[in-house]
């Protein structure tokens, strides 16, 4: 089965879920989403960025695809493939978040995969719509392949960043670039028109308020660069997808789209799997919790990515032998 259900929750999961439901969801529901309210959210990333550096990694600030980025590499001896890297795209409804808020997940992925992780600062609201965010993402992906020499790039993202990661599949096919070696999504947004779906409710979600998503949705198509292509990731050609793994919280707002996409990919013969964890919050692996589900999810995605990289490398080796 392409959907793996994790029904038994760890004890720490319950207070995390309840605390999010009691404190975070009302706060997000009431946060003003005018230009001033959105612009002020940058302070959240600044606050996290000032925190301590995760252990076991080194960081470097650089520019990638014309945008600021942070490179995280594990310290110490490594068996990592020098031709492979991870491009990480942070979530935050295209309005909040950055390398600071997502440094923990980038560092954990880097250590678990033993690969360099490039965390991108793409343009977002209120200054730029999703079309611009996608363009920044594609520029970064192209540069990793063409200028940094990586032959195999795993694309990963959470929530809104998961949408950008999936759009790389579309963009790579359109621009005649190599497809990502693997696609990782942590509670990925897979439909930017989700707020218009009458069958959806955030009643069971620990902290995402659907009402705020409806408020933000009209701004998603703001410039300066136009949004093009699929608005719903499931509408993309399944044959263009690489091996894909996604992680969700059971009954969260975005889970139905994840299940639908994974089942569609699996039916088309793509190596695709989703892990659904009960009593978790949206994008739970991104938060700095050291509880069982977070560690399991990161281990599962890292192992999946590692297998995809090895398979891609073996395919390249066989093709080179035949060519010789």
pLDDT in tens, 152-184: 999 999 999 999 999 999 999 999 999 999 999
Residues of the chain with pLDDT under 50: none
The CATH fold of domain 3-323:
Rossmann fold (3.40.50)
pLDDT at 98: 87
Q: Rounded to two decimals, what is the model's pTM?
A: 0.94
Sheet with strand 244-249: strands edge to edge: 3-6, 272-277, 244-249, 182-186, 152-158, 84-89, 117-120, 67-74, 57-64
pLDDT of residue 138: 98
Q: What is the pLDDT of residue 180?
A: 98
Q: Residue 55: what pLDDT?
A: 85
* The predicted structure's pLDDT at residue 49: 58
Domain ranges of the chain: 3-323
pLDDT at residue number 76: 73
pLDDT of residue 45: 59
């Amino acid at each position: 089965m392409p959907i793996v259900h994790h029904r038994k929750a760890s004890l720490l999961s319950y207070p995390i879920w309840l605390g999010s439901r009691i404190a975070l969801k009302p706060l997000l529901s009431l946060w003003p989403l005018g230009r001033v309210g959105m612009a002020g959210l940058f302070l959240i990333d600044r606050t996290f960025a000032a925190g301590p550096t995760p252990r076991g990694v080194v960081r470097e600030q650089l520019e990638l695809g014309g945008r600021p980025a942070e490179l995280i590499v594990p310290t110490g001896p490594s068996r990592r493939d020098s031709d492979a890297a991870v491009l990480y795209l942070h979530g935050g409804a295209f309005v909040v978040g950055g390398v600071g808020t997502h440094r923990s997940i980038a560092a954990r992925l880097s250590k678990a995969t033993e690969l360099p992780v490039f965390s991108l600062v793409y343009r977002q609201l209120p200054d730029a719509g999703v079309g611009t965010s996608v363009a920044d993402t594609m520029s970064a992906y192209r540069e990793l392949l063409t200028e940094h020499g990586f032959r195999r790039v795993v694309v990963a993202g959470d929530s809104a960043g998961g949408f950008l990661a999936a759009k790389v599949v579309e963009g790579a096919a359109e621009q005649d670039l190599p497809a990502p070696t693997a696609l990782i999504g942590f509670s990925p947004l897979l439909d930017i028109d989700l707020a218009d779906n009458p069958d959806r409710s955030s009643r069971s979600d620990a902290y995402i308020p659907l009402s705020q998503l409806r408020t933000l949705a009209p701004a998603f198509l703001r410039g300066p660069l136009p949004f093009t292509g699929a608005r719903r990731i499931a509408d993309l050609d399944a044959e263009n997808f690489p091996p894909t793994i996604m992680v969700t919280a059971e009954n969260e707002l975005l889970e139905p789209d994840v299940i639908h996409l994974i089942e569609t990919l699996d039916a088309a013969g793509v190596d695709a799997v989703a892990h659904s964890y009960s009593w978790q919050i949206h994008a739970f692996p991104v938060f700095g919790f050291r509880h069982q589900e977070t560690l399991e999810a990161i281990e599962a995605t890292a192992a999946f990515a590692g297998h995809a990289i090895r398979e891609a490398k073996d395919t390249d080796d066989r093709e080179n032998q035949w060519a010789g």
